[in-house]
Amino acid sequence: MAELLNNLFYSSSEPKMDFKQFDHCKFAMFTSVSPTKNRPNEDSAGWIQLKEDHWVFLVADGLGGLPAGDTASQLAISIILETLAASTLENATTALLVAIDAANKAILNTGNGGATTLTAVELEGNVARPIHIGDSTIQVTGQRGAVKFTSVSHAPTAAMEEAGQISEHESMMHQQRNLVSNVVGSQEMRIDVGPEINLNRYDTVILASDGLCDNLYRHEIIEGIRKGPLDESLENLIVTCRKTMLSGSRNSPSHPDDLTVLAFRRNR
């Protein structure tokens, strides 16, 4: 694999936003702890540039119901980035799968019972490949709002929604919405490798912890991110999401949680 050009590990308990612009793409990241809790942010995110127009983007959400969720998400991101940086494999997708397996083993070896979800997108040229484990989300949206891809969470409620048994609203309001059937940090971990997606100019890809999709409907996410400069669009989306978290509504989604979003868009 080509020499590592850039590397960032990103995790913060204080609200933090970052924006990067390169020749071929731009991306923005935001992370914050839940507005209603006093404990560490269990989300982490990172990216790695493998060569001029070849990237991997990552978001991990440590499981709050288990011990050391913050440690698990940080360990997953750092192990994956380190493994990719040191890899000699020519195929980047294969290298990413090897790196995820290494992260799973590292979390298991801690013996502290921690686990995390993971979303990853490999971007090479104008082709994106999504990979995910758990209930964090990946969405690919065209400039005019066309949905090119939405990941299906590894969760019972997501399976019921996909089968048409419940609506999106019912899924988001379901008492078991936070049950996850697949995590990094499990002997039974399985990696969901999505299709190659051809991106047009101005298509936007979002990777996010479930703090986003537990509070905003898919059409709200799409409308919030597809228009305007990427950093401004993401900032507006975050403001809307955090307002929803604090609304306390019983008739619409309002689930305070850690929130991490990484969005990128092709420049050409």
Please give the full DSSP string across 124-165, using - where no structure is assigned.
Answer: ETTEEEEEEESS-EEEEE-TTS-EEEEPPPSSHHHHHHHTTS
Better-scored residue on pLDDT, 197 or 9: 197
Digit-coded pLDDT (tens) for 161-189: 888 999 988 888 888 877 899 999 999 99
Task: Please check the confidence at residue 2 and state whether its pLDDT lies above 80.
Answer: no
Q: Is 102 exposed, middle or buried (0-12, 13-18, 19+ CB in 10 A)?
A: middle
Q: Domain 6-266, what fold?
A: Phosphatase 2c; domain 1 (3.60.40)
Contact yes or no for 111/13 (Cβ under 8 A) = no
**Domains of the chain, residue spans:** 6-266
CA-to-CA dists, residue 40 to 37, 64, 72, 76, 179, angstroms: 9, 10, 12, 16, 21
Tokens of 183: 């995590």
**pLDDT (0 to 100) of residue 68:** 83
Task: For residues 185 and 188, give the distance between their C-alpha atoms in angstroms, rounded to a whole number.
Answer: 9
Q: What is the mean pLDDT of residues 198-227?
A: 93
CA triplet 3, 57, 231: central angle to 5 degrees?
Answer: 115
How does residue 13 score in pLDDT terms, banded at 50, 70 and 90? confident
Q: Is 14 exposed, middle or buried (0-12, 13-18, 19+ CB in 10 A)?
A: exposed
Digit-coded pLDDT (tens) for 43-92: 999 999 998 889 999 999 999 766 688 899 999 999 999 999 999 999 99
Q: Report the predicted TM-score, pTM, of the whole model to 2 decimal places.
A: 0.92
Task: For residues 137 and 193, give the distance between their C-alpha atoms in angstroms, rounded to a whole number.
Answer: 13
Q: What is the DSSP string of 8-55?
A: EEE--SS-EEEEEE-SSEEEEEEEE--TT--S---EEEEEEEEETTEE
Q: What percent of the chain has pLDDT over 90?
A: 67
Digit-coded pLDDT (tens) for 137-163: 999 999 888 999 999 999 888 888 888
Angle separating helix axes 230-245 and 218-225, nearest 10 degrees? 150
Of residues 148, 213, 201, the one with CA closest to residue 26: 201
Q: How many CA atoms lie within 13 A of 55 on its CB side?
A: 26
Of residues 236, 151, 223, 247, the one with CA closest to residue 191: 151
